[in-house]
Structure 1
């Protein structure tokens, strides 16, 4: 797939479309105008909107830092580009445009982006802006809704996998908004339109998080059938990591227009930096933050909104204004902040010590759990990433897996401590790596699990270097979409831990020869994984041990950053 672009000779068409789109937004969605939608909403919708408005004050990943700025303060509107595929040959695109504008052009959308690319944040922004509009009488009197005549509501794809649609929506609403709701919202609300001439805009999130390929195919087929029903109560925006044209084909065939969410431009990154450091007064200077990104050569990495946020947090904590020089290094420092620096986590530790101090071996078990929390999280991540089972197949599988790990590895029996399971869960939530959604634990972001599982892969697969067996194992796993992100992290972490002396060339040469991996599709990610250089502190230590290391190490690092010419697309 390639992004549609505008031919210079057809610039007039883009200009006309821009004026037409502005008029369309001013007067509202064309079909909605024909239906003459009312302004009154069905009973129960207002309660949903109030909860969405309350939740809008928080980022989706609000556990990452204390005193997080509101989403409305930090949100930077990203562009999207329509994707050209087999289902739309010969059509001419009109160039990148904001997703919110695109909602006025098409009834149903398929929105893809890489991990951390902003898919969920866009959806949360839609629900917040729509809630503000519907709850503001003055705006409703003069303007059209920001997303058209719809009421956006999120629904998790993993919920659709195990429930009928209305039930899945209600389940997601309860899981994500229960702390903001005054009353529980019944699934019956989502079986009918939210008002006369108004539809629900179902924001389907995490399609790629259904790890079982057959089950994911069934969900895609079920969604495609809904898309084909012209008179139902729904419009759809389905968000996912890229899964391939064949797998997503049924959605396109059913009329969903495929757009790719674009990463931050340099201007948008500057806007984000300014908003972040203004909101967190005294935490840093946005211009120096951008300079640090350029110095560390992270410009391409931090174009993803989640990674820009992580970079800002790491920058605040470094004190010297220096950032790691790779994506793996950025995650390493971020996890160090979560588990070694963040004050709220240490408060949780003190609380656990107080609660367990009266039990036999209680204090030792509390200390052991804190000292081994990284190993526990890694074990959970490996189970989550490498398992072929669907994440939602068992109620709170992560929690059960975590408790079983502590029972098997604790230095003293835990059976004599009442509520040990609850203590383990509370501590895990306190790390900021996992969160409680409804009654189940899940990783705050899938990339967190991928990073942790990548560490296990380094020790288990690459402990003896890039042997023939290791290379074959890596290539085989790159062929699995569900674990590919962890493999990229493993390669990046392997290079980081080698401090510049690990050589990736044998793997790259084998990848080129391998016909089992879609090399063209993963080349950019491989470059990101190999774009690293040894930490300065590590170089200084090596220099003191061997005066010849400096030039040799730099030469190897440069070679690691530059894949062989024939590996480039």
Structure 2
């Protein structure tokens, strides 16, 4: 803590009289030395010698008074309240050390107050277990006391006259400067704190509500509280557990909103509608919470969010903003104090959320990366999240800058069920009767279940199911057509709104006009445009649209903007679609209406156009559809880049399902060409192939004709197509001897129905050397039901303590991996593990003692410890008396103190990943190595 901050609570007039009690008075009878002799410090303090006036207990009371006065005030306390006693004891020890220094008063004055304070701290016993704030406070308070003590020395009549004059002048000047700093600092600190409160309140209000598509019918509100509507999804960081050492935990599925507790920098990929922007809202609101954070979100306490949507920051091709322009560029109406953002980021308190790399033109993405790198170089000690569609940037785009790459997983069946129940609860009692029939349809109708893979599509399906009294359209194109009809022509009628804008337009003319806006945005690589430009586009198109031409163009534009349900105004002078998916759908329709086949093919390798091209195939008539697909294959032949060729071929393949009618010859040619890139050569190609959908399953090879690597990558493809056909394909590999194959089969369990997968695959796997990964209660229940007893178990953070204990009691494994998010999920009922030798433990917020309290672990000889938040290691000796080897993976920016490991009598080897300290305190028998 800076001296000026203590000085805001404890000025010179208050501290002086207290500290003067530490020194012997110069009055009559003091018995001091002659003026020309040196004066040892032990003779100047009042708590030493035969005539002492203070006891050590009195010095502690004096220290307590100083500490209490410095804590007064309305601002933030300088250190945690529960450490007050320890801080008081440490300050008293520093003051008492004044009588132990071997020097005289002249030497003390020449040292200066900072060096004298360092000497006192070195002479006093080192405080143990204090937080960083308490240590900084103690250092500063000791310096402040030394400043006044030296002032007393220079005021004594026995002090050398020359030194008196020289030192008094210097000390007076220093005190004056400190008092001036005291007068200035509180105002700046108060301004920052007050603005931060206003800013967080603004963010909580702005981002605390969520649009749920389709709930705006029947007099329902357009938005819902985020904490009611938010659904936590999983993010994946890899394809299996057998990768480089130390990366196993990075590849396990993790709640997307907890990923920043594990990684300081994340590039998060997700399809349109997968929930990327909603996740940013949730992180923002959680960080801005003034009371208790939502479950698992305490790691964001004290963080200040900066929400930076790139589509808004670069609307006119502007230079991306520096920190002082973050708020203005993002449309925040508040004006921060000068330098406020810089101070927040320099202190490492920022939560920087950069949304939508894919929503700026490809040519501008390199410039955006340079901007990010400049920010990282200046403010590295913050949390960073960047979002993108999956193919917008290459896999290692931000890897050199320390970004972990994660991908939002498609919604599993359990998550779809949760979403449907929440949607109907939010929609009100009128929707209750449609909930269970929809859940039944999602289980029985494969064409519907395949669409319900993200929150956007789930919301549309729920809305259409209720709107159509339980009937759903087949296919993605039909779903969008029904959604547009619901929004454009039925929305106001269902709400008995009449014609609030003074005109009424049918569905077709509205689509004709709005698709012009979608066409312009897509052609220019944008998702947002100026309001004036949008108005001029509609104005130019109105005369050609018969039904709209009878009305003033500006009035038509106002109607589309406020009543269509497809457009919104993020700011007073900008317009965008309510979701990118609607823009892509209508842009594709406009391109087909104009038959701009050349435009489609020229943009076929641009990730922003992938959905546009697929939807164009859906809009096209048979002959037009064949031409689009044929041109895509020609473009694939014309390129020498394998990745581009694969991308174009797969784009044609993924478009097949969108075609309403297509000649068999074209379909067979597309499938034949797809077969040329099968089997996939790596995991990246495997995931791209999965985008083709169930069609690709018939092209993947059998176990007998594939190498182990080809089989592994083919299984990745199949596991990303969660259908019964994919389950049948994966089941063909259960007897494969390769451990990677069997590990991938266990790893893919969470993407399928737990019971069906357990019966078809898990029950038939050879368990030799196989780590059984269990990520949910339903999976744990299936292992218990089947009576399996794997000797190696890994539990994810979503398995309850009761299920963990139940399965452990059945298996008694030799190897165990545990990951728990918080103390509630970490409570384990008592269970004895007699065979356990190797334990892998991941700690988020829950202390290890809570996780392990019910387990008997005396036989564990090897421990892999993943520290995802700061944790002390003092508990290890009590829980693992027989530990011989430990590997520490430190995911925090700070350092882990290894000194407590010296208390483990049998420990011989320590391996380190990340920052540590205290190595020098370990005995020679312990060998320390790092990655």
TM-score, L = length of structure 2: 0.45
Name 2:618's counterpart in structure 1: 492
Q: Aligned in 2, Cα 1:60/1:188: closer, same or farther, shift over 3 Å?
A: farther
How far apart are 1:111 and its partner, in Å? 0.9
Matches for 1:156-235 after TM superposition, within 5 Å = 156-161=309-314, 162=318, 163-166=320-323, 169-171=326-328, 173-174=330-331, 184-186=334-336, 188=338, 191-194=341-344, 199-211=349-361, 213-230=362-379, 234-235=382-383
Matched position secondary structure for 2:261: coil
2:576 counterpart (439, 442, 467): 442
Name 1:145's counterpart in structure 2: 298
The answer to whether structure 1 residue 238 and structure 2 residue 380 are counterparts is no
Q: Aligned in 2, Cα 1:351/1:112: closer, same or farther, shift over 3 Å?
A: same
How far apart are 1:344 and its partner, in Å? 7.0
Please say which structure displays the higher CA radius of gyration. 2
The answer to whether structure 1 residue 77 and structure 2 residue 228 are counterparts is no
Q: Tell me how far apart the structure 1 counterparts of residues 448 and 396 of structure 2 sit (CA, whole Å).
A: 34
The answer to whether structure 1 residue 425 and structure 2 residue 558 are counterparts is yes
Matches for 1:11-410 after TM superposition, within 5 Å = 42-60=193-211, 65=216, 66-67=220-221, 68-82=223-237, 92-94=247-249, 95-132=252-289, 135-136=290-291, 145-147=298-300, 149-161=302-314, 162=318, 163-166=320-323, 169-171=326-328, 173-174=330-331, 184-186=334-336, 188=338, 191-194=341-344, 199-211=349-361, 213-230=362-379, 234-246=382-394, 249=396, 251-280=398-427, 281-283=429-431, 284-293=433-442, 294-295=444-445, 297-319=447-469, 321-343=470-492, 350-353=499-502, 366-367=503-504, 372-387=509-524, 397-406=533-542
How far apart are 1:241 and its partner, in Å? 1.2
How far apart are 1:336 and its partner, in Å? 0.8
Matches for 1:404-553 after TM superposition, within 5 Å = 404-406=540-542, 421=554, 424-439=557-572, 440-461=574-595, 474-494=600-620, 506=630, 510=634, 513=637, 515=639, 518-521=644-647, 528-531=654-657
Deviations 1:2-25 (A, max 9, x none): xxxxxxxxxxxxxxxxxxxxxxxx
How far apart are 1:442 and its partner, in Å? 1.0
Confirm or deny: 8 A CA contact 1:50 1:131 kept in the other structure: yes
How far apart are 1:116 and its partner, in Å? 1.0
Confirm or deny: 8 A CA contact 1:110 1:257 kept in the other structure: yes
Matched position secondary structure for 1:301: coil
Confirm or deny: 8 A CA contact 1:455 1:490 kept in the other structure: yes
Gaps of 5+ in 2: 1-130, 138-188, 679-688, 690-931
Gaps of 5+ in 1: 1-32, 179-183, 354-365, 463-469, 535-552
Q: Tell me how far apart the structure 1 counterparts of residues 259 and 287 of structure 2 sit (CA, whole Å).
A: 15
Equivalences, count:
475
Confirm or deny: 8 A CA contact 2:452 2:458 kept in the other structure: yes
Deviations 1:321-359 (A, max 9, x none): 232222222111111110111127987771332xxxxxx
Q: Tell me how far apart the structure 1 counterparts of residues 600 and 323 of structure 2 sit (CA, whole Å).
A: 41
Q: Tell me how far apart the structure 2 counterparts of residues 563 and 51 of structure 1 sit (CA, whole Å).
A: 53
Q: Aligned in 2, Cα 1:401/1:166: closer, same or farther, shift over 3 Å?
A: farther
Name 2:675's counterpart in structure 1: 566
Q: Tell me how far apart the structure 1 counterparts of residues 247 and 420 of structure 2 sit (CA, whole Å).
A: 35
Deviations 1:450-481 (A, max 9, x none): 0001112223338xxxxxxx5x7654331233
TM-score, L = length of structure 1: 0.71
Q: CA RMSD in A?
A: 4.3
Q: Which one is further off, 60-69 or 425-434?
A: 60-69
Deviations 1:234-254 (A, max 9, x none): 4321111134554x7553222
Matched position secondary structure for 2:465: helix
**Relative CO higher for 1 or 2, CA cutoff 8 Å, sep ≥ 6?**
1
Q: Aligned in 2, Cα 1:519/1:191: closer, same or farther, shift over 3 Å?
A: same
Matched position secondary structure for 2:612: helix
Q: Aligned in 2, Cα 1:196/1:78: closer, same or farther, shift over 3 Å?
A: same
Q: Aligned in 2, Cα 1:167/1:93: closer, same or farther, shift over 3 Å?
A: same
How far apart are 1:209 and its partner, in Å? 1.3
Matched position secondary structure for 2:617: helix
Q: Aligned in 2, Cα 1:277/1:531: closer, same or farther, shift over 3 Å?
A: same
Q: Which one is further off, 75-84 or 338-347?
A: 338-347
How far apart are 1:125 and its partner, in Å? 1.0
Q: Tell me how far apart the structure 2 counterparts of residues 158 and 339 of structure 1 sit (CA, whole Å).
A: 26
Q: Tell me how far apart the structure 2 counterparts of residues 449 and 458 of structure 1 sit (CA, whole Å).
A: 14
Q: Which one is further off, 201-210 or 75-84?
A: 75-84
Deviations 1:82-126 (A, max 9, x none): 259xxx988734211112222012222111111111100101111
Q: Aligned in 2, Cα 1:231/1:242: closer, same or farther, shift over 3 Å?
A: closer
